[in-house]
Structure 1
Amino acid sequence: MGSFLGHVLPGIAFFILGLWHLFNHTKLYSLQSNSYISSPWFPATKLRYLELYLIMLGSSISISMELFIGPEKHQPFDVDGTIPSNHLRNFEHSLISMSFFVYATFAVLLDRISARAQRGLTHILGAAAFGQQLLMFHLHSTDHAGLEGQYHLLLQTVVVVSLTTTLMGIGLPKSFLVSFVRSLSILSQGAWFVIMGFMLWIPGLIPKGCLLYSDDGHKIVRCSSEEALHRAKSLANIQFGWLVIGITIFAVTLYLGLVEKHSKGGEYSSVLSKEFEETREESSDGESLGKNRVEDTKSLLVERGFTPFDMER
Structure 2
Amino acid sequence: MGLYALCFAGSGFILIGAWEALVSSYARLNPSSSPPPNQTTRTKPFFSSVSSFAIALFSVFFIINSIFSLIDALNSNDRVGLPLQLEIIATASLFLLYSIASLLIDFSDSLPLPSSILNLIAFFAFVQEFLLFYLQRKDPSGIENRYFDLLLVPITVCIFSTLLELGSPKSNFPRLARGVGLILQGTWFIQMGFSFFSNLMAHGCSFHGKSRGNYTVKCKGHPEYHRGRAIATLQFNCHLALLVVLIVGVYSIIAPKYRAFGNYMNYRPLGSELQQLDNQTQFTLDSDDEDDGEIKEEENVEKQKAAVLVSASGVNGYGSH
The interval holding the TM-score normalised by the smaller chain is 0.7 to 0.9
CA distance in 2, matches of 1:29, 1:190: 24
Cross-structure match for 1:292 = 284
CA distance in 1, matches of 2:115, 2:140: 37
Query: Structure 2 vs 1, CA of residues 50 and 33 (structure 1 numbering), >3 Å: closer, same or farther?
Result: closer
TM-score, normalized by length of structure 1?
Answer: 0.79
Distance apart, 1:131 and its partner CA? 1.1
Give 1:44's aligned amino acid. F
User: If you compute each CA radius of gyration, which structure gives the higher value, 1 or 2?
Assistant: 2
Distance apart, 1:175 and its partner CA? 2.6
How many corresponding residue pairs? 282
Distance apart, 1:14 and its partner CA? 0.6
CA distance in 2, matches of 1:26, 1:55: 20
Cross-structure match for 1:184 = 180
TM-score, normalized by length of structure 2?
Answer: 0.77
CA contact (8 A) 1:38 1:169 kept: no
Query: Structure 2 vs 1, CA of residues 42 and 11 (structure 1 numbering), >3 Å: closer, same or farther?
Result: farther
Pairs within 5 Å for 1:214-225: 214-215=209-210, 218-225=214-221
Deviations 1:218-277 (A, max 9, x none): 44210111111111111111111111111111112222222122221222343x33x639
Q: In the alignment, is residue 26 of structure 1 matched against residue 29 of structure 2? A: no
Deviations 1:263-306 (A, max 9, x none): 21222343x33x639x7279539945x2336x98xxxxxxxxxx
Give 1:173's aligned amino acid. P
Pairs within 5 Å for 1:148-159: 148-159=144-155
SS of the equivalent of 2:196 reads helix
Give 1:103's aligned amino acid. Y
Query: Structure 2 vs 1, CA of residues 106 and 176 (structure 1 numbering), >3 Å: closer, same or farther?
Result: closer
Pairs within 5 Å for 1:134-145: 134-145=130-141
Pairs within 5 Å for 1:59-138: 59-67=59-67, 69-71=68-70, 84-114=79-109, 118-138=114-134
CA contact (8 A) 2:49 2:102 kept: no
CA distance in 2, matches of 1:17, 1:235: 28
Cross-structure match for 1:276 = 270
CA distance in 2, matches of 1:56, 1:88: 23
239-248 or 110-119, larger mean C-alpha shift: 110-119
SS of the equivalent of 2:270 reads helix
CA distance in 2, matches of 1:63, 1:183: 23
The answer for unaligned runs of 5 or more in structure 2 is 288-321
Give 1:139's aligned amino acid. L
97-106 or 138-147, larger mean C-alpha shift: 138-147
CA distance in 2, matches of 1:28, 1:102: 26
Cross-structure match for 1:243 = 239
SS of the equivalent of 1:60 reads helix
CA contact (8 A) 1:21 1:42 kept: no
137-146 or 190-199, larger mean C-alpha shift: 137-146
Distance apart, 1:216 and its partner CA? 5.2
CA distance in 2, matches of 1:283, 1:200: 73
Cross-structure match for 1:4 = 3
CA distance in 2, matches of 1:65, 1:220: 19
Query: Structure 2 vs 1, CA of residues 106 and 235 (structure 1 numbering), >3 Å: closer, same or farther?
Result: same
CA distance in 2, matches of 1:64, 1:163: 25
SS of the equivalent of 2:115 reads helix
CA distance in 2, matches of 1:12, 1:42: 24
CA distance in 2, matches of 1:276, 1:144: 72
Distance apart, 1:141 and its partner CA? 4.6
Cross-structure match for 2:208 = 213
Query: Structure 2 vs 1, CA of residues 53 and 35 (structure 1 numbering), >3 Å: closer, same or farther?
Result: closer
Cross-structure match for 1:55 = 55
Q: In the alignment, is residue 252 of structure 1 matched against residue 248 of structure 2? A: yes
CA distance in 2, matches of 1:116, 1:281: 50
Distance apart, 1:211 and its partner CA? 1.2
SS of the equivalent of 1:222 reads strand
Deviations 1:55-83 (A, max 9, x none): 2232223212212x33456xx7689xx99
CA distance in 2, matches of 1:216, 1:11: 22
The answer for unaligned runs of 5 or more in structure 1 is 297-313
Deviations 1:126-157 (A, max 9, x none): 11111111111111253344211000000011
Work out the percentage of aligned pairs sharing the same amino acid: 21
Q: In the alignment, is residue 171 of structure 1 matched against residue 164 of structure 2? A: no
Query: Structure 2 vs 1, CA of residues 280 and 216 (structure 1 numbering), >3 Å: closer, same or farther?
Result: closer
Give 1:276's aligned amino acid. L
SS of the equivalent of 1:13 reads helix
